[in-house]
Structure formats: C-alpha cells, structure tokens
Amino acid sequence: MSSYAAEEFIQFAIQIEDDGEQFYRALAGKFKGKIAAFFEDLSRQEREHGGFFGRMAKRLDRYQPAEFFNESYFAHLRALTQSNVFDRKAVLADIAEINTLKQAIDFAVLRERASIEYYEGLSRLINTNDQHMMEAIIEEEQSHIKQLNAMLET
C-alpha cells in the first residue's frame, strides 16, 4: 500500500471525528441540562480523537504499511467511507429530523458502531507504535455506545 493510500484512510478518520464533534454539538443544541452536557462531553472527546489522527498523519512519511493487504480489504474500507452513516449531507438531514432522545441515541449508536468498524480495519494498517492509542480510541467509541444506551435508561 502506498503512503498516499494510508494518508487517505487516516484523513477520513480525521473527518469522522470532526463530523462526530459537530454531530454531538448539534445534538447538545437540541436538548437542555444534563443531556446537553452529555452530548457536549462526547463532542469534546471526538475532537481529542481527531487530534490523535492528525498527529498520526504527520508521521506517515516515516511509515509504510505492509504490502500484504489485498485490494478487497481497501475496497471494504472505502465502501465504509461512502456509506450514508458518514455522508455529511445525509447526517445533517438526519439531525434535522431528530426530535427525541431515543432518536438521537439510536442514530448516535449507529454512527459509533460504523466508526468502530472503520477503526478496527484501519488499526491493521497503522504503525505498531500507534496501536495502543488506536485501541484506546476504539475502546472509547465502545464506551460511548454504553454511555448512550445508559442515557436512555435514566
């Protein structure tokens, strides 16, 4: 895989986190009190994740992923990036239709799961020095799902 291809996938991870930050900020604006603060906190965490991927992108020129990944592997990652879950216009339209906490949580969980799937695929491509941080981000995204589901129960 070329450095360009690695950069493509990391740049998309940055976009996912930027979109996640904006998504949660928009949800915070739809609610009040504890729920708004909850979504603001998730927005902050997404911003931090984007920073990690930005730092990773700066190190790409020093790292070349293994060549043993076949084209279908990259096709799968690219297909994920083109799904409606990551389409900015579709997401903005979906946010406009969210009127209840349950709708917000359901859509957020869908986005978190898609992000996890993408990051699990990306983790196989990155430098081993970044693996621990990548695993931490995946765990945080998984914890977001737990937090989102717990918010429905309160």
What CATH number corresponds to the domain at position 100? Answer: 1.20.1260.10
pLDDT at 42: 95
- How confident is residue 8, by pLDDT bands cut at 50, 70 and 90? confident
Number of domains forming the structure of the chain = 1
Task: Please state, in angstroms and rounded to a whole number, the distance separating the CA atoms of residues 75 and 71.
Answer: 6
What percent of the chain has pLDDT above 90? 33
Q: How does pLDDT run across 93-122, given as a tens digit for each residue?
A: 888 899 999 999 999 999 999 889 888 887
- How confident is residue 76, by pLDDT bands cut at 50, 70 and 90? confident
pTM, whole model, 2 decimals? 0.79
- The DSSP symbol for 126 reads S
Whole domain around residue 109: which residue ranges? 3-153
pLDDT at 105: 96
pLDDT at 128: 72
pLDDT beyond 80 at 77: no
Task: Please state, in angstroms and rounded to a whole number, the distance separating the CA atoms of residues 5 and 121.
Answer: 14
Calculate the alpha carbon distances from 61 to 3, 24, 57, 64, 128 in Å: 7, 32, 8, 8, 15
Phi then psi dihedrals of residue 93, to 5 deg:
-65, -40
